[in-house]
Homo-oligomer: A and B are copies of this chain.
Amino acid sequence: MSPPPRLRTATPARRKPARASRRAPRPAVATLEMVARAAGVSPSTVSRIINGTAAVSSERRLAVERAIARLDFRPNPAARGLASGRSMTVGVVTQAIDSPYYGEGLRGIEAHLQANGYAPLFMSGHWNARDEERALAQFAARRVDGVIFFAGRLGDKALAAFARLVPTVVTGRRLAGPGLASLKADDEEGARLATRHLAGLGHRRIAFLAGPGDNVDAREREAGYRRALAETGIAFDAGLVAAGDFHESGGLQAVNRLLDRGARFTALFCANDQMAQGACLALARRGLRVPADVSVVGFDDLPGSSYTIPPLTTVRQSVFALGECAARALLEMIGGRAPRLALPAVELVVRESTQRLRA
């Protein structure tokens, strides 16, 4: 594209005209200097008042505040960032801005950031390290004050290296270092809860749809499944486990494979809700009713999961809270404080896709 022309809001780098023409068109936005002139003080003073960076006599303060209001002055963030070295902006590497799972987390991030005067800059990583790296590079170039790395595939090493330059909090893995903090839900505990719920209902043949093997959450969920089996005295049966990919289609295919190879089960724990949804469709197609013939539990509690047919029993970990906590921790780090890394506990949400095993 050819370079775009200037906008009406532009502030061209042009020398001031020797003398302003009478009735020059009012510029689109006020500058600090205009406020200072209107209030009869120096720009420094206006800056100090805006930033609360020094005590100022109350009369001046009043005059300045009135001028700000009258001119509807809003500091230019670019100028501010350039002068102060702070951009009041936080980069967020999100894997897919439209993910039903992560979306809520972005909202949590946005809410907390906004409440503290920061603005999020979202960039999609598309679940591949190259795009993630590109996003980080862009963020560095834009001089963000910090970065939230919401899940993703980039290696721990690369992340740690980046964090030395820009304070970073990463989600979905456990990792720490200079400028780096992490936040991780207790996926194993959630999976344990889910599986024990099924066992408590009398089920002994509990199948499991696993997530991608290179995903930490997925692995921990499998660990929780196995731990719960052990705790309830059920022998692990590899024939009841099928690999999935966290998508509906993967859940559907996994159930088909399970059924095709003659696996017999009365309950099914899926490593996430999307797979559970696909699994339910596969079961329905095979004439198996949920929960009459097989009880199904998911994981995540997606927004839509209380309206599936039947409404899905699942494990909730508030992704909104995850986003909020990540943002909070990051701002704490930016502020030079120790980040609080606690997350709300995971909990089981019992709905209508599970029932007691009929004798």
Contacts and interface: CB of A to CB of B under 8 A. Distances in A.
A303 B278 CA distance: 12
Interface string A64-92: 00000000001111110111111100000
A4 B165 contact: no
A342 interface: no
Contact of A335 (B5, B119, B140, B278): B5
A110 interface: yes
Contacts of A21: none
A215 interface: no
A85 B145 contact: no
Contacts of A8: 164-166
Nearest to A97: B106
Contacts of A140: 9, 28-29, 74
A interface, size bucket: 35 or more
Contacts of A116: 1
Contact of A77 (B4, B53, B143): B143
**Of A2, A7, A53, most B-chain CB atoms within 10 Å:** A7
Contacts of A84: 6, 10, 12-13
Contact of A307 (B76, B81, B252): B252
A260 to B, nearest CB: 20
A7 B87 CA distance: 10
Given A4-B334, A99-B103, A309-B281, A75 B141 contact: yes
B11 A53 contact: no
Interface string A6-24: 1111111100000000000
B85 A1 contact: no
A137 B277 CA distance: 41
A304 B331 contact: no
B97 A7 contact: no
A278 to B, nearest CB: 6
B120 A13 contact: no
Interface string A86-111: 11000000001111101110110010
Nearest to A51: B3
Given A10-B84, A98-B100, A120-B122, 17 more contacts: A1-B335, A7-B86, A7-B166, A12-B85, A74-B140, A75-B141, A77-B141, A78-B142, A97-B122, A100-B304, A110-B124, A119-B121, A248-B306, A248-B307, A277-B304, A278-B307, A304-B304
Please provide the 4 A-B residue pairs with the shortest distance between their CB atoms, ordered closest to farther. A98-B103, A10-B85, A74-B141, A248-B307
19 contacts: A7-B85, A7-B145, A7-B334, A13-B83, A13-B84, A74-B140, A75-B141, A78-B78, A78-B87, A97-B107, A97-B122, A98-B100, A98-B106, A98-B303, A110-B122, A252-B307, A280-B309, A281-B308, A308-B308
